[in-house]
Amino acid sequence: MRTTSLLGLGGALLVGACLLVSCVGTESELEHQGLDGPGNLALIPIPQSIEVREGTFRWSPGQGVAVHDQVLLDWELDKRLLEVIDPNGLHKVDVKGPHGPDSGVHMLIDSTLWELGREGYKLDIRGDSLAISSAWPTGVFYGIQTLRQLLPQLAGQAGASAGYSNWSVPACEIIDAPRFGWRGQLLDVSRHFLPLEFVKKNIDYLAALKLNVFHWHLTDDQGWRVPVQAYPKLTSVGAWRVDKNDLPWHGRPEQAAGEVADYGGSYSREEINEVIEYARLRGVTVVPEIDVPGHCRAAIAAYPELSCDGVARGVATGGIMEENALCPGREATFEFVEEVLVSVMGLFPSEYIHIGGDECNKSAWKSCVDCQGRMAEESLEDVDQLQSYFIRRVEGIINAHGRKMIGWDEILEGGLAPNAVVMSWRGEAGGIEAAKAGHDVIMTPSEYCYLDLKQGLPETEPELGYSELLLSTAYSYEPLPAELTSEQSKHILGIQGNLWGESIRGETEANYMLFPRLFAVAEVAWSQPDRKDWRGFIDRLDPILPRLKAQGIGYAPSLYQVALHIKVDAANAQISLAMDTEHGDVEMRYTTDGTEPTSTSTRYEAPLQLAKSTLFQAAAFRDGLPLGRITEKMLDLHKAMGKSMDSPSVFSPKYNGGGGANPLIDGNTGSATHSDKRWVGFEASSMEATLDLGALTVIKEVAIGCLEEQNSWIFYPQSMEVLGSRDGVHFRRLGVVQGDPTAASSGAHRKELTLATPGEQTRYLRVRAESIGTCPDWHKGNGGKAWIFLDEIIVR
């Protein structure tokens, strides 16, 4: 574990004027904020040490600022402080230089604080003075950020026009330093081009939360955003694609003849320099990513000769995994890569250069004459070793210019380059392997750090992202794996959150996916583990979220979303319904009459017992105001719920419908997301189940809920067949319904295959959902194996 900064600051330090301040102010505000005990200030990330004292420090007109060291003036930290405490210049603040007379506010370099590192600081607030000190200007900068969070609501916000004559902050002593030196966030601007203004806003977010690395994903299949003078078509051609944003990301048709590629954009060298300087002045280092040898369709569209077959193709319009790799068999490819990297290193002064190295489809290499020749020449046994050869050569280019190479954990395949830093995203295994081998590692496992994943119940979230990453899950992450020794753990440089851009078309979508999870990433990266506490984090986050809203930052309210938990009580022919929220401390109110819940609707106190099918709606409230969205679910008390079921079919352990004994008759229907833990998945196999209803029952309808998500190799069943029996021995066919699985579609869809039955008495039902087994000829991937996903067998 490294507690000193990886990233030195030079020159002045700035920070945006209106970002993410907390909610502490005058004494009259303290009780309302819940700050009623020692160390309970609403600060994120939580500092190493907080001692709350009696009283407050009150700012008064005409009060000055004493800067005790010339280096702080050189870095213009006096101006940065005034931007926080007096952003509109309402008072003529007298700034005293080194060794100037005492004043109410002090900034100073204190060499006795070196044990806190360059980013550590001390904030000492008393009734008559306020002092920010550190062994290095970077730490003073972070002390200013903590002061920003302590200020009352009006202070530190652009456009504020009142309240500065007597703002106050609670008296306290804060001693603080970061746990990790690498505290980052990735922003993907390739999938959708994002304007310079938002890139700067994103950097402001990082600075306010003491994150210090901006990982800029600049190239991918869908767009090349950085200029290279020797290859001008990278931006004149590679930055533009045909606009098919009205279609789901996966499954979009490729660019056709005659279609105009007019969606995209790129940054000029001047704009990139502007971003780098903007970030530097905010304590943030910009690390560029040029993704090779895979994810290169945009480059290949500009220069087809970079691929194995040399075929001209358009920039990818959406998600692809084929025909997007550079050809490592040709020397011209390495000339291209070197020219690009030298150009990029000429722009970006960062110590680290990220080269991607992930998800490279190497199938074309197996039949490429040049690649096979390279493998023979270099005595390489397979295409994994060929990729390793490619990565090693790329690292040599980067090292020759005094830089260090970072790659995603796929660079481990075929052998790791000598000095490479591994960014572990496919879980922690790659990072653990690299750390044990003596390589530095940045932890960013997708299940904890991918900020493009949905934040709550799929059926209540907007059409952004996929799968699920709850705020509580992001907050629970521990970056140091237990498998590592203390010496090996020193190779874990830190963590970062990643905002991939498949569904991020602009600032609105980006803000929604970043917040509030970026707060969790910041606290995991900065704060010591013994300082972390989920309940405390939520209590500190609560007063911050309204400020985000006031600043126009549309955050996700998913932590307030009501989740429903169903338990079947077959003996009493009813279900037990429990409710909760991720937040854990809000009012939940509900209706069962088809109306939307309000602040006066019935309040949830304990699990409910429902004996008939019900349209159930619920929402969270505080102080009479709604917090999240309305959760709505039709609770269908059908005749098979909780009954006996026998099935010889084997479903996937990963997709097991939540892990219950009989997940296909538990009343939990799925959403249009295969990873919502309500689906039962069968790979390349059919499903057969026999139900015992317990007694002869008149059956009028049998249905089965099924999912189609062809990009994930999930197809509707080919058919559903239903047989009935009175004795469990002699079955006769009640009917069959077709599923039409082979019609091409995009996106995810849930539907019910429904069979109307003769309406006779039956005790036993045998239901068979027939899989197509293999994907259609037009569909690629998963070795040709097709899945069926089922959620509930419904008997009416």
- The residues assigned a catalytic role are 220, 295, 359
Q: What's the angle, vertex CA 695, arms to CA 690 and CA 699, rounded to 5?
A: 70
Structure token digits, residue 630:
């309305």
Distance of alpha carbon 665 from alpha carbon 645, whole angstroms:
8
CA-CA-CA-CA dihedral for 106, 110, 113, 116, to nearest 10: 70
- At 693 the three-state DSSP class reads strand
Write b or e for each residue in 174-193: b if 16 or more Cβ atoms lie within 10 A of its Cβ, otherwise e. bbbbbbbbbbbbbbbbbbbb
| Token code pair at residue 324 | 């997007």
d(CA 644, CA 795): 13
3-state secondary structure of 631: strand
Q: How far is CA 181 from CA 131, 473, 681, in A?
A: 25, 22, 42
- Go through 653-689 and write b for each residue having 16 or more CB atoms within 10 A of its CB, e for each that does not: eebebbeeebbbbbbbbbbbbbbbbbbbbbbbbbbeb
Q: In the numeric block, which tokens belong to residue 608?
A: 């409910």
- Which of 631, 619, 704 lies closest to 669, judged by CA? 704
Asked whether the beta carbons of 256 and 263 are under 8 A apart, the reply is no
Which tokens hold the place of 759?
Answer: 């309406």
Helix axes 507-514, 196-208, angle to 10 degrees: 20
Alpha-carbon span 135 to 552, nearest angstrom: 36
* Nearest CA-CA partner of 108 in 82, 78, 85, 88: 78
For residues 61 and 249, what is the distance between their CA atoms, to the nearest angstrom? 56
Report whether 788 contacts 715 (CB < 8 A). yes
According to DSSP, residue 276 is labeled: H
Sign of CA dihedral 485, 491, 493, 498: negative
Q: Are 292 and 326 in contact (CB under 8 A)?
A: yes
Greatest CA separation found in the chain? 100
Q: Which amino acid is at 549?
A: K
